[in-house]
Amino acid sequence: MNVYIKNGLLIGLNLMLVTACNDRLTVQPTQSIDVTQALSNEQDVRITLTGAYDGLSDGNLYGGGFQYIGELLGDNRDVVFGGTFTALDELWRKTITTTNTDVRDTWLDSYNVINRTNNVLANLEKVSEDNRTSYEGQARFIRGAMYFELIKLFGKSYNDGTPASNPGVPLVLTPTGAVGDVDNRVRNSVAEVYAQVIDDLTKAEQLLATSPTGTFATALVGNSGVATKGAAQAMLARVYLQQQNFAAARDAANRVITSGTYTLASDVAGAFSDVSPESIFKIVVTDQDGITGTNALNTYFASTRNSGRGDIRVQTKFRQLFGAGDVRGQFFTTVNNNVFTSKFNDLFGDVVVIRLAEMYLVRAEANLRLNTSVGATPLADINAIRTRAGATQFTAVTVADVLLERRLELAFEGQQIADLKRTGTAVGTTPYNANNLVLPIPQREIDTNKQLAQNPGYIN
């Protein structure tokens, strides 16, 4: 962490007074809170937590950035990037520079959100007993999710070398206020970052309810834009799978599935609607004025006919992976001979971060690798996904089948590079552990914090 981050984190500079509106996470800025007066009571803590959700919805984070970075970095000509933005083109071509603006803003915005959660966690004594547990759980979920995304992008994969010695990202667990040399942090190891992620998400699971609770969430019940027990469980399933801790991944996914809180949508299109029954956690997007989530997936993946830029074009090579009758193989939009995914056609559609279908895929893979059938057999789980898609049912299933099913079902949702790295699969001719598949520490971070070591393969 450095001066650039810290300037953005100062609560007096960037914390806005926001209020929840109706049943959506719609927030309206009314004034800045002076740093000397901030967080003096429960309302201030609630404002800060709402600000953390607002930051989380940014277009460089779960508003689309984490997802399109994961897809472009892991792409092997399944798509073509035809846009004019150099930052995204560098990601797609794997020729990323240390001054890439998307990389810079993803780092900065993530630490901004982390600082807001740190302020919440440091001031829980000012929150009523009725709300304290919920506030802590939500803050821990957000902080754990942010560090998980950061370590996947800026550190080596957990199965690449030695996590205990591989450099990860700086762990900042207390609020950043006045700027000083003490805030120039070294990079914690990959193992240390994962341990913190698991600690935060495990505590979040314990603290959070099945549905949003407390005055903060009163207007948001029924809306998966707020962290819940299921969201923490689902994120843990992702984390454990990335570590290849298959038993823990299986059990976390199974807790989500067997909770009965979520059900698979009846059709493929329904999985991406704002009222999808399988949405576990999402970024709420509205067309109202004020601070709302950003749907950057619509911006880059959708055709111009559907309010997008038409930058990311799906190639025949990928579409041919779907079997006859598989509805997912027709879930595309064609404009001027270019093909685009139809997952993000709604400009104001909510951005789904985690959905139930992924939990079936996690449980199936983990059970298969462990030769177990906790919750259901791998075959039953995979066929549940394929039945919804109208695809031919399997009579037997292998790990390769499950991994291909993940690619087909979760395409363009941000899991591509993470899946390739954890399975040791090359991106075309580029080895999974190549230097250019790890993002560089942004140059401005290096310039202002000499304790930060750059990732291999990048010249400062």
Does residue 460 fall inside a structural domain? no
The pLDDT, as a whole number, for residue 39 is: 87
Does residue 445 fall inside a structural domain? no
Does residue 109 fall inside a structural domain? yes
Q: Any idea which of 28-37, 216-225, 242-251 has the lowest mean pLDDT? A: 28-37
Using one digit for the tens of pLDDT, what is the confidence trace for 164-207?
A: 999 999 999 999 876 556 668 899 999 999 999 999 999 999 99
Enter the DSSP assignment of 199: H
Two structure tokens written together for 385: 């996904």
Domain of residue 185 covers: 3-431
The pLDDT, as a whole number, for residue 286 is: 79
Two structure tokens written together for 421: 């790295």
What rounded mean pLDDT belongs to the chain?
A: 89
Res 110 pLDDT > 50? yes
Residue 424 region by backbone torsions, left for phi larger than 0, else alpha for psi between -120 and 50, else beta? left
Res 28 pLDDT > 70? no
The pLDDT, as a whole number, for residue 218 is: 45
Using one digit for the tens of pLDDT, what is the confidence trace for 413-432?
A: 999 999 999 999 999 999 99
Res 33 pLDDT > 70? no
Does residue 443 fall inside a structural domain? no
Res 224 pLDDT > 70? no
* Percent of all residues in the chain with a pLDDT value above 90, rounded to a whole number: 82
Using an 8 Å Cβ cutoff, are 256 and 230 in contact?
A: yes
Residue 254: enclosing H or E segment and its boundaries?
helix 246-258
Using an 8 Å Cβ cutoff, are 239 and 195 in contact?
A: no
User: Number of structural domains, the chain?
Assistant: 1
Q: What pTM was computed for the model?
A: 0.92
Res 102 pLDDT > 60? yes
CB atoms under 10 Å from CB of 337, counted, come to 6
Two structure tokens written together for 404: 């291909």
Angle at 58 between CA 52 and CA 59, to 5 degrees: 165
Please, which pLDDT band fits residue 35 given cuts at 50, 70 and 90? very low
Does residue 254 fall inside a structural domain? yes
Please, which pLDDT band fits residue 36 given cuts at 50, 70 and 90? very low
Span 394-417, average pLDDT: 98
The CA distances from residue 433 to 11, 74, 198, 425, in Å, are 38, 12, 23, 9
The CA distances from residue 253 to 296, 357, 375, in Å, are 27, 10, 10
Does residue 96 fall inside a structural domain? yes
Res 280 pLDDT > 50? yes
Does residue 437 fall inside a structural domain? no
Using an 8 Å Cβ cutoff, are 2 and 449 in contact?
A: yes
The CA-based dihedral angle spanning residues 96, 84, 61, 421, taken in that order and rounded to the nearest 10 degrees: -40
Using an 8 Å Cβ cutoff, are 327 and 390 in contact?
A: yes
Using one digit for the tens of pLDDT, what is the confidence trace for 299-351?
A: 999 999 999 999 999 999 999 999 999 999 999 999 999 999 999 999 999 99
Does residue 456 fall inside a structural domain? no
Residue 271 sits in a domain whose CATH number is 1.25.40.390
Span 260-266, average pLDDT: 97
